[in-house]
Amino acid sequence: MKKVLLAYSGGLDTSCCVTWLKERGFKVICFIADLGQQENLNKIKVRAIKTGASKVYVKDLRQEFVKDFILPTLKADAIYEGKYLLATALGRPLIVKYLVDIAHKEKAKYVAHGCTGKGNDQVRFEGGTKTLDPKLKTIAPVKIWDLKSREEEIDYAKNKRIPIDVTKKKIYSIDKNLWGVSIECGALEDPWAEPPKSAYQWTSAPEDAPSKPEYVEIYFEKGEPKNINGKSYSLINLIKKLNDIGSKHGIGRADSIENRVIGLKSREIYEAPAGTILHLAHKELESMVLDGDTQHNKELIAIKYAKLIYAGRWFIKEKKALDKFINQTQKNITGTIRLKLYKGSCVAVGRKSKYSLYNKKLVTYSSIKGVK
């Protein structure tokens, strides 16, 4: 029997994929990646089996995700088109890496994903797979079946008794991981319509956030965040903690019309509380420590780096070269940034670093004895 390794999330698309692939004579093995989406992965595993998967792999990839994917992106200050912190885009190459690994282990000749032909994720899955193993064949059921909309997929799931959570009212397509939430579809497809409150998954609306500001101090060492308010955390817990604090204050929402790789414009909303706080603090610290020219060059690299991640070109050589430049700039990015969070806004109100190039004596407009 032909074996296929399916990147499975338990959502509408991938659930329908299991049944569709089985009906076409495949033995379906599902792979569920834990990227900190804080879902009950055991429940999703059971759902995969109930839907007909013959085997399910669940892998906790959070450590690798923060260390090898989130951290380099933070050091790069990479944000796509000034708004999108790339949570989904960053998760994909890591999923692909393990999908290919497990396919090898299982001696499967096929891998499959549940992405549509309209988005970026298909490019990330297919390009990533091709780079890592050009011999593996990718099947993309959503691109070839004749279900034309999410509504039709819901009907298909009902007919085939596929367990799903989505209803025609709750039509959003949501992708979550530790670094953020990406939300598409439904009411959001009208670029004039304000996103309904219910579309946001983590953050309070700024108008409902506490009316008292909260101050947070973040300490970085060589470009890496190490502690919050003097207390050190592992990177996973540090991000979780900032997601909690940021969500409470309505930080990290973005509403964007973005340029997809395939040339379409789309309207998406995002939530990335920790990412927003960390990017801001990191850039503030860089502005204290980096000389102006390096800082400006780095801004250009940040755009390139974000574009590369967005386009699913994570495994290419150019990225390694950019990483070298970025890491070189991070040697002195050590210090503390003090932030004020208040009703959706996050601003730096204090900064200090032993490598600071800021020199009050030189810059001051007030006269200091002995300095002219």
Binding site for ligand ARG (CB under 6 A): 88-89, 119-120, 173-175, 182, 184, 268
Q: Both tokens of residue 121?
A: 């994720």
> Shortest approach of ligand ARG to residue 115 CB, angstroms?
8
> Shortest approach of ligand ARG to residue 108 CB, angstroms?
24
Sign of CA pseudo-dihedral 149, 143, 27, 37: negative
- Of residues 89 and 288, the one with the C-beta less far from ligand ARG: 89
Catalytic residue list: 13, 92, 121, 173
- Of residues 91 and 246, the one with the C-beta less far from ligand ARG: 91
- Of residues 266 and 295, the one with the C-beta less far from ligand ARG: 266
Could you give the CA distance from residue 292 to residue 288 in angstroms, rounded to a whole number? 10
> Shortest approach of ligand ARG to residue 4 CB, angstroms?
21
The three-class DSSP label of residue 250 is coil
Q: Both tokens of residue 95?
A: 């999923």
Q: Using the CB atoms, write b or e for 171-187: b if 16+ within 10 Å.
A: bbbbbbbbbbbbbbbbe
- Can you tell me which residue has the tokens 């502005």? 287
Could you give the CA distance from residue 205 to residue 197 in angstroms, rounded to a whole number? 7
Q: Both tokens of residue 99?
A: 């999908």
Partner residues linked to 59 by β-bridges = 33
> Any alpha helices (H) in the chain, and if so which ranges?
12-23, 41-51, 62-64, 71-76, 87-105, 121-132, 141-144, 150-159, 235-248, 273-289, 292-310, 317-329, 360-363
Q: Using the CB atoms, write b or e for 332-362: b if 16+ within 10 Å.
A: bbbbbbbbebbbbebebeebebeeeeeeeee
- Of residues 183 and 337, the one with the C-beta less far from ligand ARG: 183
Q: CB under 8 Å, gap of 24 or more: what pairs does 189-197 form?
A: 189/267, 190/267, 191/257, 191/267, 195/255, 195/269
> Shortest approach of ligand ARG to residue 307 CB, angstroms?
12
CA trace torsion 362, 363, 368, 372 (10° rounding) = 60
Could you give the CA distance from residue 220 to residue 351 in angstroms, rounded to a whole number? 11
Check if the beta carbon of residue 49 is closer than 8 Å to that of residue 191. Answer: no
- Of residues 88 and 329, the one with the C-beta less far from ligand ARG: 88
> Shortest approach of ligand ARG to residue 131 CB, angstroms?
18
> Shortest approach of ligand ARG to residue 174 CB, angstroms?
6
> Shortest approach of ligand ARG to residue 338 CB, angstroms?
32
- Of residues 173 and 334, the one with the C-beta less far from ligand ARG: 173
> Shortest approach of ligand ARG to residue 265 CB, angstroms?
11
Sign of CA pseudo-dihedral 67, 72, 74, 79: negative
